[in-house]
Structures are given as structure tokens and as C-alpha cells.
Amino acid sequence: MSIRNSGDNPGITRRSMLARTGMVAAAVAAAPVIGAFPTSTAAAAGTWRVPGEETPHECTWMAWPSSTTIWSTDLAKIQADIAKLAKEVAKYEPVMMLADGSTAASKARTMCGSTVTVVSSIPVSDCWMRDTGPLFTVDGTGGLSSFGLNFNAWGENATSFYGIPASAYNKDRVVAGKIATYIDVPFAKASVVGEGGGIEYDGDGTLMATESCWINSNRNPGKSRSQIEAELLARFGATKMIWLPGVKGYDVTDGHIDGTARYIKPGVVMVQLGGAAREDVWNRNADAIRNVLANATDAKGRRLQVLTIQGPDTLPRISRGKWADFLSSYMNWTVTNGAIITTQFGDTARDAAAKSAIAAAYGRPVVQLNLDALYGNGGGGAHCVTMQEPKV
């Protein structure tokens, strides 16, 4: 990538940005709400769009966990998994790792190695870059812009679920804009509150999201589904939303879509079904999501092709009493320029089947890592801790 001196890591530079233009203003009209989980359409949202994750990346952004207030005695294990993942992603594209100050940066550089660029000048609270970082939009002519979703610690669920003080996430509430400033890209704040892990986008006009995350008083009190939809469509440069059932109040995210269903490319989605390692509430919801998607069309009028895989039946490295809190999802993969990086859980047959299915769907190699600490103690996965910056 074309780069200039960052001042954060000796010998490491960051890329010089092209001239940027601002976000194109777009007004969208929401369709009426009909039924429990219907699809709806809206007017065109302008030339800017968030591209699909399968398109080429400039780099991947990550964040180094260093807060004992958040992680307590689990911190070292979480850091080890973040370092393992960062080094793997760096085999396929540049990784920009934010670290909270010089001490955290030194630890990150030691554990991640020289292939990962560590930036110490942007403060961070934690590692969930998918939910805290900016979403990037492109205009097809070399323009890059960005927006943030006003992260509020998952509707302050971090406090209600785990007793973590709300102030522990103060740096992550503003990190999206700081990243945009660092790389000299225009930035805007959405008028809704949410997280990147709570929405999937195909880059071709269609979004899908669970109602449990967005139409929720802990994030968007007083806002209707139509209002939330209109704003998301405008920000993503999309014209159609597929609303999906979700699970509210059962985990800290209120049922992020990226643990259950993902876009492979426009017109093609994958859903993880079943698996005895996952509690029935999630398996029932996955069935409901599959059923909605199987009957949905996208912004281009295509009937969606719905691929499915099965979740693991066992987590042999994890005690049975901890399965309920473990994100036993192959779906929470991260897409890189050269490979799809996901997890393996030790269920040999299901791990192999998932790897084969994901590789066939993408036409790319699949790397499976043991990230038990992140998926177990963290309750999130490879997608949750990465955010791609598209190549323009």
C-alpha cells in the first residue's frame, strides 16, 4: 500500500490517502411495516456504498485489549488469541492494530511481531473493532468516506450483563472518528445507535439485520423500525432491508446477525443451523432466520440462495458448564484478500465440514484457528475483532 510515516512505530508508515469527498446526502423513504419479519424497500441512497466484505481490502483494523477492568484475569489469554489472529490476517493483507498508549503498544508489538503495524496514538478501550470502528464507503471513482454507529457498549449491556462500568468503554465510543481522522477520511455520525456486527451488507443494495439489536430501547429509544431502516439504508448506500428475527436480552449483543448468517456475495447467504453445543434458543432463531431468507429477494430482485452449515455438537476443550456462554459459531469468520479465517472447536467432523463448505462458497482457502479464549471468555470471534478498509 502507498504509505507515509505514521510516527507510531519506528520504520512503519501509513498510507497516503487520495483526495476525499464528503458523504453524498441521501433521503430515503421507508416502506410500511407489514407482518412480523418482512422485507421492505426504500428509494435510492446515492452513489456512496459500503462494499461487500469479499471485495479487495486496503487493510484490516484491529484493537489491542489491555484493560484489566474489562478482562481481569482473562486478559493474557485474550491477548494471545488477538495476536494469533492478527498474525494470520497479516499473511494476506496489512493489519493496523490500535493500542492504548506506549505500554500496551509495546506488548502488542512483542506478541504480534513485525508484520502487524501497531498504532499507539489512538486510544482504545477494548478489542471489538467490528462494533466500535468506522464503516467505510466508496464511490467507485477513488473516493473513500466513513461513518460511525455511535457505539454505546451494546446498549450498556456490558454493565448490566457483566458489571463493567460504563466508563470503561469511553474510548471506544469515539474511536471510529479518530481512525477516520488518522487516515484523513471524512467521517459522519449516523443518527442511530448500533454496531457493525449487528448488520450484514452485500455491497449491492441489500442489508440484513436482526430486529433485536436495532429496534431496542437500549440503543434507539423512541425510534420506529421505519426510521432506523431509513437511516441504515442511507448510510450504507442500500435500497432494501431484510429484517430478521433475533434474540433480545440473552447475550450482550442482543443477537448480532454475524454469529448466525452472513453474506458470501450478492445473492448468496450462509446460515449456521443446529449443533448441540449451542443452546436451543439460538438454534430455533437460526431456523427462523433461514426460513425468512429462503423466501426473501434482494434489492436486485434476486431470490436469495441460502447455504447452510451445521454448528458443532461438542466443544471437547471446554467444560460442559461453559458451553452456554461460548460463541460456537463458524459464521463469525473474517474475510481477507487471500483467505477466510474462522475457528475450529475440536469437533473433528463438524470442523471439517464447515471448512469445506465455506471454502466452496467463497472459492478461497479457509484457515481455522483455535481461538477458544476469544470465543469463550470473550463471547466474540474473528469477525467481531476486525474491520476491513476497502481498497479504492
Q: Report how far residue 261's alpha carbon sits from residue 45's, in angstroms, rounded to the nearest whole number.
A: 24
* Res 14 pLDDT > 90: no
The average confidence (pLDDT) of the chain is 90
Q: What are phi and psi of 217, to 5 degrees?
A: -65, -15
Query: 225-236 pLDDT, tens per residue?
Result: 999 999 999 999
24 — pLDDT class (breaks 50, 70, 90) = very low
Furthest-apart CA pair in the chain: how many Å?
Answer: 57
Closest CA to 262 of 365, 383, 355: 383
Q: pLDDT by residue (tens digit) across 308-324?
A: 999 999 999 999 999 99
User: What pLDDT band is residue 28 in, cutting at 50, 70 and 90?
Assistant: very low
- Confidence band, pLDDT 50/70/90 cuts, at residue 22: very low
Residue 12 pLDDT > 50, yes or no? no
In this predicted model, what pLDDT tens digit does every residue of 352-362 receive, in sequence order? 999 999 999 99
Which superfamily is assigned to 38-390 in CATH?
A: L-arginine/glycine Amidinotransferase; Chain A (3.75.10.10)
Q: At residue 239, does pLDDT exceed 70?
A: yes
Of 59, 112, 213, 384, the active-site residue reads 384
Asked if the model's pLDDT at residue 32 lies above 80, the reply is no
Q: Is residue 53's pLDDT more than 60?
A: yes
Burial-class residue 83 by CB neighbours within 10 Å (0-12, 13-18, 19+): buried
Do 265 and 52 touch, CB atoms closer than 8 A?
yes
Name the grid cell of 388: 476491513
Higher per-residue pLDDT: 34 or 118 = 118
256 or 42, higher pLDDT: 256
Q: pLDDT value at position 16?
A: 32
pLDDT at 218: 98
Known catalytic membership, residue 384? yes
Which pLDDT score is estimated for 31?
28
pLDDT band at residue 10 under the 50/70/90 scheme: very low
Give percent above pLDDT 70 in the chain: 88
Every domain of the chain and the residues it spans: 38-390
